[in-house]
Amino acid sequence: MKDSTIRRQSALHTLLDQMEVPEMRKDASSVSNLRWLSRNLAVQNHDHPMFETTINLVVWMLRHGVQS
């Protein structure tokens, strides 16, 4: 795994720890969790100051970081 992917995964985990997200969905190495986050993160977190950054990381991870 590339170093940038590892850093982004770590950053995503840190951000998700600050949000209302089920514990089982915080594993950023799982494609199914990233897809779930892309659909559901805004439900309880749309007002969070780091929401845009977090969703951008999720999208990046789906496109580049995690292999299906």
Give percent of the chain above pLDDT 90: 81
Note the pLDDT of residue 1.
56
Running DSSP on this structure, what letter comes out for residue 5? H
pLDDT at 67: 61
46-59 mean pLDDT: 97
Domain boundaries, position 52? 3-65
Number of domains observed in the structure of the chain: 1
Q: What is the pLDDT of residues 8-46, one digit of tens each?
A: 999 999 999 999 999 999 998 899 999 999 999 999 999
* pLDDT of 68 higher than 60: no
Q: Hey, CA dihedral for 6, 8, 11, 17, is it positive or negative?
A: negative
